[in-house]
Structure 1
Amino acid sequence: MSSTVIESGLTPAEARARRLLALPAVLVGMGSVQIGASLAKLLFPVLGAIETACARVVLAAIVLLLLARPWRRGVRLFPGRTAAITIVAYGLSLAVMNTVFYAALSRLPLGITVAIEFMGPLALALAGSRRALDLLWVALAVGGLLILLQPWQFVGGHAGHPLDPVGILLALTAGVTWALYILVGRRLGGQVEGNTATALGMAIAALAVLPFGWSVVPNLAIHPALLASAFGMAMLSSAVPYSIEMMAMRRMSTRGFSIMMSLEPAIAAVAGLLLLGEHLSPMRWLAIGGIVVASLGSAAAGDALPPPAPPPD
């Protein structure tokens, strides 16, 4: 995507106005994702983390397939061998990313989980950079992560409240799969139309997670209130933000979109505080701030974070 977006048929003033309107839309999209994550965490005691992830992916796949309707466009399920392999890889990365993220979220506060996971796309943005200034962003990101994890608290006999080590490992795994999924999604974007690629990828993800969360199906089938909550969680976490971000990316520069997305860990921490009552220590707020500043600096300097939402990919 070029650094300036001018939509066809619009004057420069109209294009500028539409780009400005896209800014609050991105904030709404990020807020929707974190509200959905908060709702998911509230469902964990009833459904389980893996089962909740399964419900999210399956319900989102159904909605996205109904919206994209690839069968109405004459698109085969696998449009060519190369695209088929990429779609499967894309769907599997979505499945793993969602599952391990929810598993981490069941053990860690929302803001901390997202901040750790965000290190994946941040590392991808900084990879291969050659500017001296980027050393500052790397130092901020690493320093923020160290303050966030506080590894010295794992030393025997040290007073404190260390984070769950399994949760940390799961969050880091989610970050790695986030970065991999961005790379695969970028490649897929050049092979299959965006809506169709997202719908087919989510369908593959649903098939991948269903064997691990099959027990959620009868629970949702016999409890309409649970089904409504799970559906709302899936829409807030997937369909709504993906649609908003697709619209925004057509109206904003890659750098501008990336700068906005850099606020994701902070928004997650605020959502965790307001919706889940997850209070973080001042040091951990400072750590999240350091990761956000590193992301902002990297994006503003030109190393834009790749778009994390499936539709633009």
Structure 2
Amino acid sequence: MPPHAYFVVSAIFHYLGPAFAVLLFVRVEPLGVAWLRIASAALIFALWRRPWRVWRVLDRRTRWLLGVWAAVLAVMNSLFYLAIDRLPLGTVAAIEFLPVVALAAIGTRTGRNLLALGLAVGGVYLLSDVRLVAEPLGFAFAAANAVLFALYIVLGHRVAQSPHVRGIDGLALSMLLAAVVAVPLGAVDAAPALLDPIALAAGVGVGISSSVIPYVCDQLAMARLTRNGYALLVSLLPATAAVIGVVVLAQFPTILEVLGVVLVVAGVAVHREAPQRQS
């Protein structure tokens, strides 16, 4: 399959899973759903890849890379669920990409990247102008999640292109570690689902659709695309989230929110990162 096809699958499931998670919030608290997502994905990866066999032969530097990526995954997913419990899915998705564009503008100071940053900032401003007064805490969670999302992309590229571990095996190891990191964050809230077969099955479904399918497709796409090529495709994600929010959750955006998402999509599409150094 071409790398773009992997990305299309990832783009659909990246926010389809969280949309299902929002529906599950009536049975399980957001942090509990986040832990069920991570833990179920970790279990599936463990059965599929048996990542502990790879861990034994890794060097210390690669282990640290996977450990940091695991911590980012655990905290990022928890913050994301706290954010979508308070804000529309499309709004949270748009905010996610502001640090990505800002880092590119700082790293490569070109007119193109300054334009991209202006578009993204303008889009997030429109979104915040609509929602910030009503849900300041939701915006705080979304902003923290956005910073970690930028870090997730950077670390994900390093894992995908690492000569010491295959991308999916690295993902499996990190997800297993992330489930442990997330225990103090959401295990207590997830406990009621263990006695509710419907909630437990739904939590596993969220894990498969949110963390297994899209993350595997991300690794397959990242390994075959340049960082700039991947970043261009990523610009579709805020729009994808907005559409899924409408279809699954009936979160119909206002005209200003639609314009805000469009500006963020344009900003992410326009920006370019610094060329990667050859080692």
Q: Fold-level match, TM-score > 0.5?
A: yes
Return closer, same or farther for 1:50/1:305 CA change in 2, 3 Å cut-off.
Answer: farther
Residue 303 (1) aligns with residue 276 (2): no
1:148: Cα distance to partner? 1.1
Alignment partner of 1:140 out of 116, 119, 141: 119
String of CA shifts for 1:22-59, please: whole Å, max 9, x gaps: 43442222111211010011111210010010100111
Q: What is residue 121 of structure 1 aligned with on the other side?
A: 100
CA distance in 2, matches of 1:195, 1:49: 27
Return closer, same or farther for 1:182/1:81 CA change in 2, 3 Å cut-off.
Answer: same
1:290: Cα distance to partner? 0.2
1:147: Cα distance to partner? 1.0
Q: What is residue 183 of structure 1 aligned with on the other side?
A: 154
| 1:103 maps to amino acid | L
Alignment partner of 1:194 out of 155, 161, 167: 167
1:188: Cα distance to partner? 4.3
Tell me the number of residue pairs that the alignment of Structure 1 and Structure 2 aligns: 274
Q: What is residue 238 of structure 1 aligned with on the other side?
A: 211
Return closer, same or farther for 1:256/1:85 CA change in 2, 3 Å cut-off.
Answer: closer
**Matched ranges for 1:161-176 at <5 A:** 162-176=133-147
Contiguous gaps of at least 5 residues in structure 2: none
Pairwise CA RMSD: 2.4
Larger Rg: 1
* Aligned residues of 2:107 and 2:273 also touching (Cα < 8 A): no
Alignment partner of 1:294 out of 243, 255, 267: 267
CA distance in 2, matches of 1:39, 1:305: 37
Alignment partner of 1:38 out of 19, 27, 33: 19
Alignment partner of 1:259 out of 232, 255, 259: 232
TM-score, length-normalised on structure 1?
Answer: 0.80
Q: Secondary structure at the match of 1:274?
A: helix
Residue 91 (1) aligns with residue 62 (2): no
Tell me which moved more, 28-37 or 181-190: 181-190
| 2:74 maps to amino acid | A
More helix as a share of residues: 2
CA distance in 2, matches of 1:108, 1:236: 21
CA distance in 1, matches of 2:153, 2:90: 21
* Aligned residues of 1:124 and 1:305 also touching (Cα < 8 A): no
Contiguous gaps of at least 5 residues in structure 1: 1-17, 155-161, 307-313
* Aligned residues of 1:78 and 1:84 also touching (Cα < 8 A): no
Alignment partner of 2:79 out of 79, 100, 109: 100
CA distance in 2, matches of 1:217, 1:271: 25
Q: Secondary structure at the match of 1:127?
A: helix
1:272: Cα distance to partner? 0.6
CA distance in 1, matches of 2:14, 2:274: 21
Return closer, same or farther for 1:129/1:305 CA change in 2, 3 Å cut-off.
Answer: closer
Q: Secondary structure at the match of 1:47?
A: coil
CA distance in 2, matches of 1:263, 1:295: 8
CA distance in 1, matches of 2:54, 2:97: 34
Return closer, same or farther for 1:44/1:199 CA change in 2, 3 Å cut-off.
Answer: same
Tell me which moved more, 162-171 or 179-188: 179-188
Q: What is residue 54 of structure 2 aligned with on the other side?
A: 75
Tell me which moved more, 206-215 or 246-255: 246-255
